[in-house]
Amino acid sequence: MTITARQTATRIAAIRLIVGKLDALPLAVAEIHRAIDDGTINERDRPHVEDAGVRSINAISDPTGQAAIAHVGAVDRHLGDVEAELARLALAAGNLADVVSRWVRSAASLEEHPRCSGGGTVEEWTRPDCAEYVSYAIRADGSLSYRGDGLCDSCRMRKHRHDRAQEVA
């Protein structure tokens, strides 16, 4: 499936509406904590059947223990869901940021990035309309450096082909 820039803009607008709801997340977490502490979480969670007082032999009959287990279960179930979804959202945002940073350069870096000098010469291999950026190499330490000849990849290849043809001739 091919996605267009317009479809992407529409999806981003929808995501911004959803992300706007994230401002209310601390309030929702506080409400979950309050409901757990009040013991009203089960009313919101699912229908709760009242205990008829009939228990099997060796069943837990300590209401304090039951309350503690119910509290731990509610915290794990509700706040665990919030934590898992926030982790998933952070991972997705990080992955999306990686894609964007791989494909889009900042405006400042484009202004600093020199243009190809291949169009500024009068040699046979040059392209007068070349306005590409000078290609760069990645050093062993991971930093970037511009190629010393001041050419883009396309002009470098044109020069290489021209030089090779001159050697053959």
The pLDDT score that the predictor gives to residue 134 is 84
Q: Using CA atoms, how far apart are residues 163 and 126, in angstroms rounded to an integer?
A: 12
The domain spans of the chain are 5-46+67-103, 107-168
The pLDDT score that the predictor gives to residue 143 is 76
Low-confidence ranges of the chain (pLDDT < 70): 1, 41-71, 104-111, 119-121
The pLDDT score that the predictor gives to residue 48 is 45
Phi/psi for 67 (5° steps) reads -65, -40
The pLDDT score that the predictor gives to residue 66 is 61
Q: Which of 120, 116, 119, 127 is nearest to 150 (CA)?
A: 116
The pLDDT score that the predictor gives to residue 47 is 44
The pLDDT score that the predictor gives to residue 21 is 83
Q: Using CA atoms, how far apart are residues 12 and 1, in angstroms rounded to an integer?
A: 18
